[in-house]
A and B are shown apart, each in its own frame.
Chain A
Amino acid sequence: MKRVSSLLAAAALSLGFASGASAELKIGFIYVGPVEDLGWTFRHDEGRKAIEQHFGNKVSTTFIENVPEGPAAVDAITDLAETGHGLIFTTSFGFMNPTNTVAANYPKVKFEHATGFTRNTDNMATFSARFYEGRVIQGLIASKMTKTNKIGYIASFPIPEVIRGINAFTFEARKHNPNIEVDIRWVFSWFDPAKEAEAATALIDAGADIIVQHTDSPAPVQVAESRGVYAFGQASDMSRFGPNAHLVSIVDNWDSYYIDRVQAALDGTWNGGAAADIWWGLSKDGKGNGIGMVEMASYNEKALGPDLYAEAIALEKALFSGARHAFPCTGLKKQDGSIPEECASGAPHLVDFPTLVTKDWYIEGITQSIPK
Chain B
Amino acid sequence: MEWAYLVLTLVSVLNFATPLLLAATGELVVEKSGVLNLGVEGMMIVGAMTAYFVGAHIDLEICTVPHFSGVGCLVGTSSIPMERFAIVVLTGGLAGMALSFLFALLVLGFRSNQVATGLGLTLLGLTLTNALGSGSGDLKVGRVDTLLGTQASDWGIWGPLLNMNPMVWLTIILCLTVGWVLTHTRLGLIIRAVGENHDSAHTLGLPVQWVRLGAIVFGGLCAGMAGAYISMIQIGAPLWKEGITAGAGWLALALILFATWRAERVVLGALIFGFTLALELRLQTLAGLPSWFVPWLLPSLPYLIPIIVLTLISLDARVIRRNAPASLGKLFEPIS
Q: Which residues of A contact B (CB under 8 A)?
A: 34-38, 42, 65-66, 193-194, 197-198, 222, 237, 239-241, 251, 297-298
In the complex, the answer to whether B66 meets A298 with C-beta atoms within 8 Å is yes
Known: A36-B135, A37-B137, A237-B68. A197 touches B235 (CB 8 A): yes
Give chain A nearest CB distance to B239 CB in angstroms: 6
Query: Who on chain A is nearest to B78 by CB?
Result: A226
6 more CB-based (< 8 A) A-B contacts, given A197-B236, A240-B65, A298-B67: A42-B137, A197-B235, A197-B237, A239-B65, A239-B67, A240-B73
Q: Does B154 contact A (CB under 8 A)?
A: no
Chain B residues contacting A65 (CB-CB under 8 Å) are: 134
> What's the least CB distance linking A234 to chain B, in Å?
14
Q: Is A194's CB under 8 angstroms from B68's CB?
A: no
Decide yes or no: A194 and B239 within 8 Å by CB, A36-B134, A36-B135, A240-B73 being known contacts.
Answer: yes
22 contacts between A and B (CB under 8 A): A34-B134, A34-B137, A36-B135, A36-B136, A37-B137, A38-B137, A193-B241, A194-B239, A194-B241, A197-B236, A197-B237, A198-B281, A237-B65, A237-B66, A237-B67, A239-B65, A240-B65, A240-B75, A251-B67, A297-B67, A298-B66, A298-B67
B83 at the interface (CB under 8 A from A): no
Chain B residue contacts of A198, Cβ below 8 A? 281
Q: B137 — nearest CB in chain A belongs to which residue? A: A36
Interface presence of B2 (CB below 8 A) = no
Chain A residues within an 8 Å CB radius of B138? 36, 38
Nearest B-chain residue to A36, judged by Cβ? B137
**CA of A197 to CA of B281 in the docked complex: distance in angstroms?**
13
Query: Residues of A contacting B73 with CB < 8 Å?
Result: 240
Shortest 8 CB-CB contacts between residues of A and residues of B:
A36-B137, A237-B67, A240-B65, A194-B235, A297-B67, A36-B138, A38-B137, A194-B239
Smallest beta-carbon distance B135→chain A, Å: 7
Q: Does B268 contact A (CB under 8 A)?
A: no
B319 within 8 Å of A (CB atoms)? no
Neighbouring B residues of A240 by C-beta, 8 Å = 63, 65, 68, 73, 75
Q: Please, how many angstroms separate the alpha-carbon atoms of A194 and B235 in the complex?
A: 7
Fill in one digit per residue for B136-160: 1 if any A CB lies within 8 Å of its CB, else 0: 1110100000000000000000000
Chain B residues positioned under 8 Å from A239 (CB to CB): 65, 67
Binary flags per residue of B59-82, CB closer than 8 Å to A gives 1, else 0: 000010111100001010000000
Chain B residues positioned under 8 Å from A194 (CB to CB): 235, 239, 241
On chain A, the residues within 8 Å of B67 by CB distance are: 237, 239, 251, 297-298
Min Cβ gap A233→B in Å is: 11
Interchain CA distance A298-B135 in the complex, whole Å: 25
Which residues in window 237-295 of B have CB below 8 A to A?
Answer: 237, 239, 241, 281
CA distance A7 to B132 in the complex (A): 32
Instruction: Report A-chain residues with C-beta under 8 Å of the C-beta of B136.
Output: 36
Q: Tell me the complex Cα distance, A36–B133, Å.
A: 11
By beta carbon, the residue of chain A nearest B135 is A36
The listed residue with most A CB atoms (<10 A of its CB), out of B67, B134, B140, B281, is B67
Q: Which residues of A contact B237 (CB under 8 A)?
A: 197, 222
Please report the C-alpha to C-alpha distance between residue A37 and residue B140 in the assembled complex, in whole angstroms: 12
CB of B267 to closest CB in A, whole Å: 27
CA distance A222 to B134 in the complex (A): 21
CB neighbours of B68 from chain A (8 A): 237, 240
Contacts of A36 in B (CB 8 A): 134-138
| Nearest neighbor of B134 in chain A, beta-carbon distance | A34
Q: Nearest chain B CB to A221's CB is how many angstroms away?
A: 12
List A contacts of B135 (CB < 8 A). Answer: 36
Instruction: Kindly list chain A residues whose C-beta atoms are within 8 Å of the C-beta of B281.
Output: 198
B58 CB, min distance to chain A CBs, angstroms: 19
Q: Chain A residues with Cβ under 8 A from B63's Cβ?
A: 240
What's the Cα separation between A42 and B137 when bound, in Å? 10
B190 CB, min distance to chain A CBs, angstroms:
43
Which residues on A sit within 8 Å (CB–CB) of B137?
34-38, 42
CA distance A43 to B237 in the complex (A): 25
- Per the 8 Å Cβ criterion, residues 25-78 of B in contact with A are 63, 65-68, 73, 75
Residues of B within 8 A of A193 (CB): 239, 241
Chain B nearest CB, measured from A188 CB (Å): 10
What residue of chain A has the Cβ atom nearest to residue B139's Cβ? A36
Bound state CA distance, A15 and B255, in angstroms? 52
Cα distance A239–B64 when bound, in Å? Answer: 12
Scoring B residues 204 to 236 as 1 if CB is less than 8 Å from chain A, else 0, what string do you get? 000000000000000000000000000000011
Question: What chain B residues lie within 8 Å of A38 (beta carbons)?
Answer: 137-138
Residue of B whose beta carbon sits closest to that of A33: B137
Of residues 107 to 165 in B, which have CB atoms within 8 Å of A's CB atoms?
A: 134-138, 140
Using CB atoms, name the residue of chain A closest to B244: A194
- How close is A202's CB to chain B, nearest CB, in angstroms? 9
How many Å lie between the Cα of A222 and that of B138 in the bound state?
Answer: 14
Kindly provide the distance from the CB of B28 to the nearest chain A CB, expressed in whole angstroms. Answer: 29
Query: Shortest beta-carbon distance, A369 to chain B, in Å?
Result: 15
Kindly provide the distance from the CB of B52 to the nearest chain A CB, expressed in whole angstroms: 13
Query: Measured between alpha carbons, how far is A265 from B67 in the docked complex, in Å?
Result: 29
Closest to A39 in B: B137
Q: Which residue of A lies closest to B235 (CB)?
A: A194
Q: Given the complex of chains A and B, what is the CA–CA distance between A194 and B245 in angstroms?
A: 13
The closest CB in chain A to the CB of B285 belongs to A202
Shortest CB-to-CB span from B186 to chain A, Å, is 45
Of chain B, the residue at the smallest CB distance from A249 is B67
Please, which residue of chain B has its CB at the minimum distance from the CB of A240?
B65
Alpha-carbon separation in the docked complex, A237 to B63 (Å): 15
Instruction: Determine the distance from Cα of A222 to Cα of B237 in the docked complex, in whole angstroms.
Output: 10
A298 to B67 CA separation, bound complex (whole angstroms): 8
A35, A65, A194, A297 — most chain B CB neighbours (10 Å) = A194
Contacts of B66 in A (CB 8 A): 237, 298
Residues of A within 8 Å of B134, CB to CB, are 34, 36, 65-66
The answer for the CA separation of A37 and B66 in the assembled complex, in Å, is: 19
What is the distance, in angstroms, from B288's C-beta to the closest C-beta of chain A? 18
Q: Report B-chain residues with C-beta under 8 Å of the C-beta of A251.
A: 67
For B235, the chain A residues whose CB sits under 8 A away are: 194, 197
